[in-house]
Amino acid sequence: MSFLFNKSSKTFKSKKNVSEAGESHNFDLVKHASTTLGSGNLKLAVMLPEGEDINEWVAVNTVDFFNQINMLYGTLTEFCTEQSCPVMSAGPKYEYHWADGQVIKKPIKCSAPRYIDYLMNWVQSQIESDSIFPSAIGVPFSKNFLNIAKNILKRLFRVYAHIYYEHFHQVIQLQEEAHLNTSFKHFIYFVQEFDLVEKKELAPLQDLIDKLTGKEKA
């Protein structure tokens, strides 16, 4: 199943949409995140709720970021084409090649829409795997869950980076700038709070990150 978007289906809903899964605990975590986000305090929104398991908190938020990025990118697919974006890049200094370690073991150079298609399918397969993202309450997470989540979030960052570098003028035309900035700021606060993405991976948008998080130079 391809997750490339079209005009009739601009968003992709994960089968494991935690807010609709009927699992009260996961729903409570989502509700907590939504409430704190509504307060406007993103630093507070990303903090681990008292008494909660770090793996569950990371899992809930990873699925949420995946859905957010799907929706954001879904509004831009008519602009992100094989012709307009022949390589997956974040400006002239950063180019990304795809490999999943299973089907595609050796990194391949591909267009941005193809890369993002591979990426979204790969993330979806991780999220739908009960051995990685357990759907039943009380089922333990694997010992390497955080490493898997780090890899997912590192790659989701690349979609943000591509959007900012290659499609930001279209984001402005669509009046989605505030939505994109808020989503990305939330993402950055979250991955920084739990050290989930290495600083070198964030380098393409470091100036923007500093500005959004109030660390810009005087």
What is the full DSSP assignment across the chain? Answer: -----BTTB-----TT-GGGS--HHHHHHHHHHHHHHHTT-HHHHHSPPTT--HHHHHHHHHHHHHHHHHHHHHTTTTTS-TTT-SS-BSSTT-B--B--SSS--S-B---HHHHHHHHHHHHHHHHT-TTTS--STTPPPPTTHHHHHHHHHHHHHHHHHHHHHHSHHHHHHTT-HHHHHHHHHHHHHHHHHTT-S-GGGGGGGHHHHHHHTT----
Residue 179 is labelled as binding a ligand? no
- Ligand-binding annotation for 97, yes or no, is no
Residue 186 assigned to a binding site: no
- Say whether 110 counts as a known binding-site residue: no
- Give binding residues as ranges: 80, 85, 162, 167
- Give binding residues for Zn(2+) as ranges: 80, 85, 162, 167
